[in-house]
Amino acid sequence: PQTSTDSLTQLPNRHYFTVQLRRTIAQKTPFYLIYVDVKGFKHINNLHGYKAGDEILGAVAARLTKAVGELGFVARIASNEFALILNIKNKAVANDNALIFAEALQSTLRQPYDTSLVQGLTLDVCIGLVRYPEHAMSADELMRNCDLALYYAKYRLDNAICAFSDELKRHSEERYKLEESLRRAIENGELEVYLQPIIDLKANRVAKCEALARWQHADGEFISPEVFIPVAEQTGLIIPFGNWLIDEVCKILQRFKQQAVDVRVAINVSARQVSDQDTIDYIISSIESYQVNPKQLSVELTESVLVHSYESVSALLVKLRQLGVIVSIDDFGTGFSSLSYLKHLSIDELKVDKSFIQDVGIKNNEDSAIVLAILGLAKSLNLQVIAEGVETADQHQFLIDNNCDCAQGFLYSKPMTVSDFSTWYKDYTSQS
């Protein structure tokens, strides 16, 4: 009898697939090229072993072959990636309903798998598709565009299916340009650190500040970190960028010590940096070379970083704690994550997201209730709370009335250059 691994080994490989793709193109009838990527396979291999992994891929191959039927062609083009050629003549894709076909395929592949070694396992799959001849004429271009569609499908959280379009291509070209100019910006020092003060509401003094990156493009235009940080994160540029920032902030702390500016500086650390083994070493070496007191440094992580890389986060946090670096959870309340991590991880502070602060104190509303609940939770877990995005005197008063520790926002100051910050700090300190 045929085992499920047979259906895997019998599938054509990448080379044979390109031959078949060229043959199909030569027939000059419309078709779809579809890529299917099975997510998280490394994890399955690590957890259940390679044999189990192969059995499951075999079962995936069998389901794909069945779904495509007589009118299509299935190949395995990488360890966990499959390619399908689907003729438009196929009933399932009549009226160009390839997206409906892809959705059906996705739900078939998401059904639990039972093999001799693993039972009830479910998989997630991403699908990219491109249509011949509308979206590419040659085999190379079809494969390139299908790769692009698949790439976007992977970053799309809603249903992980993406069809190629001209707009997608334009978007990707713009991203590529942005990536290239960001690479140069890091090398040429076009980036600058701005600082935004954080007020200790009980002592009425400037206790801390947050380092926020600013990029003024060579042509004078300012590019928001909300635009370039995600690009840096996805392309890996976040590592050289993050190292640059760590260095800059340590230099600032060294200068502040000489100028008697006594504040802690917080840096934002993103998911890739957390998973990168070298980040902690970089922090340690910068702290040493600029002779910085580690207690003057803090690190902000969002809940999504915690959830996606829990193991590397907990390892990093333990090391940071040993050094004396303070750890805050950024945008707290927006991450849909379980609260249990607050108990298990070495955390010092919660930064309440600005969306909850907006309507606080106006009347008895839900946001006030949420902020009060966070303050209660933090108190019982012995964590400090910083309210973000404070813009009005009413919000400020509400926070004081309810014993919030610290506040940050335009009411006190916008982010400013390092030298403006020093001046501002001296003014504020002399007035209070």
Q: Which of residues 386-415 bind Ca ion (CB under 5 A)?
A: 388
Does 245 bind ligand C2E (CB under 6 A)? Our answer is yes
Q: Of the ranges 174-182, 224-232, 251-259, 397-405, which one interacts with ligand C2E (CB under 6 A)?
A: 224-232
Given the complex with ligand C2E, which of 51 and 217 has the nearer CB atom? 217
Cα(199)–Cα(170) distance, rounded to whole angstroms? 44
Residue 303 binds Ca ion (CB under 5 A): no
At its nearest, how many Å lie between ligand C2E and the CB of residue 96?
40
Binding mask 409-428 for ligand C2E (x = CB under 6 A): xx----x-------------
Task: Tell me if the bond preceding 133 is cis, omega within 30° of 0.
Answer: yes
Binding region for ligand C2E (CB under 6 A) out of 95-103, 221-229, 253-261, 314-322:
221-229
- Per the CB < 8 A criterion, the answer to whether 35 and 81 are in contact is yes
Contact (CB, 8 A) for 237 and 229: no
Nearest to 229 by CA among 265, 189, 185: 185
Contact 327, 320 (CB under 8 A): yes
Find the shortest distance in angstroms from Cβ 358 to ligand C2E. 8
DSSP string, 130-173: EEETTT-SSHHHHHHHHHHHHHHHHH--SS-EEE--HHHHHHHH
74 three-class SS: strand
Q: How far is the CB of 198 from Ca ion (least distance, A)?
A: 10
Rounded to whole angstroms, the Cα distance separating 72 from 126 reads: 19
Q: Of Ca ion, ligand C2E, none, which one sits near residue 212, judging by CB under 5 to 8 A according to partner kind?
A: ligand C2E
C-alpha to C-alpha distance for 292 and 166, rounded to whole angstroms = 51
Q: Does 268 bind Ca ion (CB under 5 A)?
A: yes
Task: Select the binding partner of residue 405 from Ca ion, ligand C2E, none (C-beta < 5 to 8 A, by kind).
Answer: none
Site string for Ca ion, 337-376 (x = CB under 5 A): ----------------------------------------
Q: Where on the chain is the footprint of ligand C2E (CB under 6 A)?
A: 196, 212-213, 224-226, 229, 245, 268, 270, 330-331, 354, 389-391, 408-410, 415
